[in-house]
A and B are shown apart, each in its own frame.
Chain A
Amino acid sequence: MTKPLTLEDLDQFLQPQKQVDGLAGYAAAAAVLTAFDLFDLQPAGQAPVAARERLIDGLLPLCEPFTHGPEVGFWTLMLPHRRTSLRRMKSRKKMIAALAANPNRRCTTSQRMFERVLGTTAISMETLSRDELVALLTVVEWTEGILDTLPDRAAIKRAIRKNDLLAPMQRLAGSGFVGRESELEQISKFVFGPKPPEPLFVFGSGGVGKSTLLAHFILQTAVPRNAVIAYIDLDRSTVRPDQPATLQLELVNQVSWQVDISSADAVTKEITYAMSRVEEGRGLESVAASVPVPRIDDSVRRWLNGRTLLLIVDTMEEAQFLGPDVMYPLIEFLVDMHHSLAEVRLILSGRTLPDEFMQQVFPSVTGAVPSGPELPQWLEQIPRRSRPVNLTALEIEPARKLLQKSLEQGGLPQLTNAEQDEVIRLVSRNPMCLKLAARLLRDEGIEKLRAGDSEFLSRLKAEKIQALLYGRILGHIHDDDVCKLAYPGLVVRRLDPDVIREVLAGPCGLDLTQRGEHTIFSELAKEVALVENDPGDYSVRHRADVRRVMLEDLLEHVAPATVDAIDQAAIDFYKTKNGPISRAEEIYHRLRRCEEESVLNQRWVPEAAARLRSALEELPPAQRLWLAERLGVTLDERVRQAADQDAWERQAARSAERYLRSDKPESALMILRERPERLPRSPLYSLEAEACRFLKRHDDALRVAREGVESAVRAGAIDSALELLLKMVVIEEGRENPAAAEILLREAAAVASHAGNRLLQLRVEITGLRLQRALRPEDRDERAALRTRLSIQITSEILQEMRHYPVLLREAAAELGKHAPRIAAAAIQTLGVEVGTDSQAQALGRAIVDLTSSLAKEGFEALAEGAKHFEEVNYDPKEIRNWVTDIMTSRDTRKLGGEIADTAEGATTLNAFRDYFREGVADAVRGIGDATGSFRGNEGDL
């Protein structure tokens, strides 16, 4: 009998690198150092000094270089070799002794933390910076299992995440917060008192301190009282107000580490896949197999285990900017979360109190939200516990305190009370203005205030300090130029020496022989508080907030002809230049001059959109509408009604699509029926038919779609006609009338032969397969031939394209997945797994059981366990759904997709997957998927 192989045998065979004699002392020394220079390293203990060449042969192969940061060019011992050496030393005492060999060691954060771990004093994580916490984690990795009483790794990770959450708030509220006692008290009662049925809204103008107030509350009250915090800023790129599911993702991401659950992956997987299932133009089929925003209440409730969750959604004006069709569903989603989870306290924050919030939260309070002095009285209609917090300027005493604090931070001496009051009188009690005033005092010196310098005071005195500060910069350049450039100059948004010379110099009457454009420009570019670097080139951009207030007064100071001359000069300047920056500026000035749409359309490039976003609110209605369309923004009804038919249709289409995506067919229909007329290629036929379909008004849907087909055919819009015909097919299928569906499909097939869209043609054929199965199940050979042809037709490029059309992909997987597993795999990888109805959940359960029974692969343990469970519970759909939503991870889903891709074509193990996809398609076509069914009315509703 052969002797079993041992690790020693193996190492003998592998001949591990022989230890170069006499280097143990060096390895020990290196093991207690974060970074070392190979040429300076001294051995630990009494070890003899070795030749450097021996270090190169023996020690260097155990090391890796630092490739960045201050230690770049130094070496560090690789983890296993470090741990081997530390294991040999075993004790703190010996490690401390090894440190002594290199007294001039580099003092990195990791080195300091290592030496703290070697010390006897307990380490308080609360006192450590983020860098120190990260270093501590590294050191624990070195010494875990070797030294005792080490800090807990999970606790360090939690401390890092906490730091990440709170650090921006500390920077915001850490040192400049004063007053606001009554607001803080109201928020505290709202969060920690009996739960009010309504969420709280904090509103106030920019710079008034909303985010600072909330940050202060979180730091001083909510965190010490052990609340779980989720702070969602709609201004972040990872959050999309028009997709509430992205807020869920952010919420789960922030909450999961605070409540100590091992992984929230199963929940995030459900959310991300739900987002991927939406196909534009096929609203009902997109959402039929799952809800547009999955419910995560049960999971969150379980995680919180009774703790309060303070959910703050800040910068609500970002959602308002996009239009009511974004705002309304978002508010509804958030309010629903506030209601359905007893532990949640929801606070919203934005510049104004939105009508959408008031209508949904306080429907009994009538009328639009007033502005001006009547607002406080109007708010008193609302019970105190959840009355929106109207944040206004500071009271006088807090204003003094804030000014004094800001001056102290700038290293300035105390002002007398009279001096403080003088500054406050000049700049108002707005916190941001006070901070800017402190900055001005720091820059110019307090003596000027004390000397009563009239020029200084006149600059400080303006009601709008930002505007004055703008003038101050230019004033440093040349007094005469100030008046000329400060006011008309900000007609342009972007400045560089060429713009000063070519656009502004003439209309502003600048004499550039005295001070050249480069001098003026370079002075301007230094003032980062007032101008921002333009990303494109060596230019700067006026800060939007400064410019906005200045523009309001522009025509009081400047002749209209001058303004017009600047606009025209800017157009002439930019129109000869290439690139999105120039196009955006050219279009901006054309919009200001209310030029013809045809001209604007001709000059438009999509890349300019991002640079024109901030211009929207300063334009007149017609121009705003034109730009809104290109920015993906919907405007209010008044502006929409003033538009011509083409512009109105585009606005209405966007709005209706958004409402349908949010399961609001009634709202979509209201928008679509604002006007009965339709242009020949109108997208509104399809949307109106879809809205009717959502509402189960099938006859209406068919009638509207037919009108659309006729209109499209008359206009030669073959693809539009085909799309509408296919919609009609699905409507007939949905009401279980396959014969009528097939007649319509024949009509579609005739049109398809003239269509240019290959995916629509493919859809006709896939739909044909599905109908044939329903109508003539015995025609197997014909279907087999068609399947073979389609499988060949769907090249890998087409399959990639189909991943952008999830509904079509699901349909293709249902018909072709068994014979082309790559299609089924792509469907799983794009759509995830869907368990919208009981029958679909059961079909999935069977499919997983069939697949895993033929698998003995490693890495499939989770799926195999799931399969075992499904059999044990006799395919109980509720159990399968729970497993999918709570246990199955995104990795399991990807593995499942990968395994299907590797399965042989036509394998019987794919039968159950085919059935699963067919269940999904049937649900989608019939519109009967999700557990709540909230978006589907009954036949005859409305």
Chain B
Amino acid sequence: MPLNGPQTSKLADVIGRELPPAALDLIATDLGVKLSHLLPGASVKEWAVKLIEELQRRMPPEDGTLLEVLKQHKNQTLSAAAHKLLQPDFLSPTDDPHDAIVLGGIAFVARDQLRRALRMFTHPNRFTTRVLIVRGEEPGGKSYSWEFLRHLAFASVGATARRLPLKGTSYSPRAFLVQVYNLLLLPDLVTLPTMADDPQLMKIDPLMNHFKGRLDLLSKRYWLVIDDLNHDSVTPEIRAIAYAVACAVEELKPDNLWVVLLGYNTPVVDLDLNRAESDDAVFPSARSVAEHFEAVARFSGKLFPSARAREIADVMFSEFPKLDKEAMSKLTQRVEKMDERLRVGQQP
């Protein structure tokens, strides 16, 4: 969570078809949203979108709570739709969640090093790292890693993955840590120290000491995924505190917390963290996309020749003279649509 546009649209559609207005109004009221005040006279579908918007405004976003409510609903269509969004099914050629290539409707191509590195998270011992650093300046699916982490955390060790996106946030170091506390449901936020405005006194040590002091209080297992660290809107101070959070977790190795830094491209100076697992997110190659298609097609039981898979991948790549963010986004959409077809045995 939060739900993206396509997910919101689909869920609103299902709610619009399956629930009468009064039932949705009741659910919304229980969640503290008065739809009839916010959007009088609107359809159930519109109300559904409005409700999701309102829940996403909360910190942490609470659209997941709506899904939990819907999952328990006696209407099976509604319940199934919510369940699918909460815990997407996955396709793995080996049934091992580490090898998953499709997560719900999301294609997850290649990334062998990421999969290998995450085995340290899912098979921990006292020497394995608690930190994974995913590097990469160019578009390479760094943030897509989040989807895989969310899947693997749940499917492998029953952990909850929490994502802290940083793009465009303008957090101060303290505000950043407030978000961390909120996401991990850490106690004593009210005593989190303030910071001086004098640049010579702006030390994050007191903040980090407070954080370290609460790590043992985590009651369930979390993977904290700090995203967008390479984005230009993220200031050096925020990169520094994200790094400090990772160092603290690696140093103390609490029972219930693992940390992933997505897009952290700064050199690591801490020796312990230097031994943390690293992954380089790079633009997938036509070859890896072709291999992905072949693997997905196998689930339909129909033969899909390698040469044809490669031809399709090459055609998809031919559109992009430059492998930039727009290309990545378009390619991803096509690959996911192709996956949908291949899974049911349709081939071009």
Contact = CB atoms under 8 A, between A and B. Distances in A.
Interface in B238-285: 240, 243-244, 247, 266-269, 271, 274-275, 278, 280, 282, 285
Interface residues of A, number: 91
A14 B341 contact: yes
A61 B7 CA distance: 7
B200 A249 contact: no
Interface string A25-39: 000000000000011
Nearest to A800: B127
A145 to B, nearest CB: 9
A13 B329 CA distance: 19
Given A39-B50, A56-B45, A271-B267, A65 B3 contact: yes
Contact of B329 (A4, A53, A79, A276): A79
Contact of A57 (B9, B326, B348): B9
A72 B57 contact: yes
A533 B232 CA distance: 32
Contacts, number: 212
Nearest to B316: A10
Given A64-B4, A859-B282, A5 B9 contact: no
A891 interface: yes
Contacts of A38: 49, 53
A14 B107 CA distance: 15
Given A65-B56, A894-B280, A134 B3 contact: no
B280 A536 contact: no
B87 interface: no
A238 B326 contact: no
B56 A68 contact: no
A62 interface: yes
B185 to A, nearest CB: 18
A209 to B, nearest CB: 11
B289 to A, nearest CB: 11
B54 A80 contact: no
B199 A68 contact: no
Contacts of A72: 56-57
A5 B312 contact: yes
Interface string B52-73: 0110110101000000000000
Given A39-B50, A63-B5, A528 B168 contact: no
Nearest to B319: A7
Interface in B305-348: 311-312, 315-316, 318-319, 325-326, 329-330, 333-334, 337-338, 341, 346, 348
Contact of B5 (A64, A236, A890, A901): A64
B5 A803 contact: no
B156 interface: no
Nearest to B280: A891
A536 B213 CA distance: 7
A532 B201 CA distance: 11
B46 interface: yes
B22 interface: no
B180 to A, nearest CB: 13
Nearest to A53: B45
Give the top 9 A-B pairs by smallest Cβ distance, nearest first: A800-B127, A63-B5, A535-B209, A533-B193, A73-B57, A858-B285, A535-B210, A61-B6, A60-B9
B169 A68 contact: yes
A268 interface: yes
B128 interface: yes
Interface residues of B, number: 92
Contacts of B2: 65, 67
B235 interface: yes
Interface in A4-21: 4-7, 9-11, 13-16
B34 interface: no
B36 interface: no
Given A238-B240, A276-B275, A803-B127, A5 B348 contact: yes
B48 to A, nearest CB: 8
A859 B285 contact: yes
Interface stretch (A99-107, A164-172, A373-381, A727-735): A164-172
A160 interface: yes
7 contacts: A53-B43, A56-B13, A69-B168, A72-B56, A164-B236, A800-B125, A858-B287
A537 interface: yes
B53 A73 contact: yes
A101 to B, nearest CB: 20
Contacts of A581: 213
Contact of A536 (B112, B205, B209): B209
A172 B199 contact: yes
Interface string A510-541: 00000000000000000010001111111000
A528 B195 CA distance: 9
A801 interface: yes
B56 A13 contact: no
A272 interface: yes
Q: By CB atoms of chain B within 10 A, which of A14, A141, A534 has the most? A: A14
A272 B126 CA distance: 24
Contacts of B316: 7, 10
B170 interface: yes
A134 B233 contact: yes
A536 B210 contact: yes
A131 B315 contact: no
Contacts of B325: 79, 141
A804 B168 contact: no
A294 B2 CA distance: 46
Contact of B334 (A10, A240, A830, A859): A10
Nearest to A249: B267
B298 interface: no
A243 B269 CA distance: 9
B326 A130 contact: no
B269 A858 contact: no
A572 B323 CA distance: 67
Contact of A239 (B10, B165, B269, B346): B269
Contacts of A73: 53-54, 56-57
A24 B57 CA distance: 28
Contact of A858 (B39, B46, B116, B288): B288
A80 B329 contact: yes
Contacts of B45: 53, 56
Nearest to B233: A134
Contacts of B77: none
B200 to A, nearest CB: 6
B161 interface: no
B170 to A, nearest CB: 7
A67 B61 contact: yes
Contact of B127 (A15, A39, A53, A801): A801
B301 interface: no
A235 B128 CA distance: 30
Contacts of A475: none
A893 B346 CA distance: 41
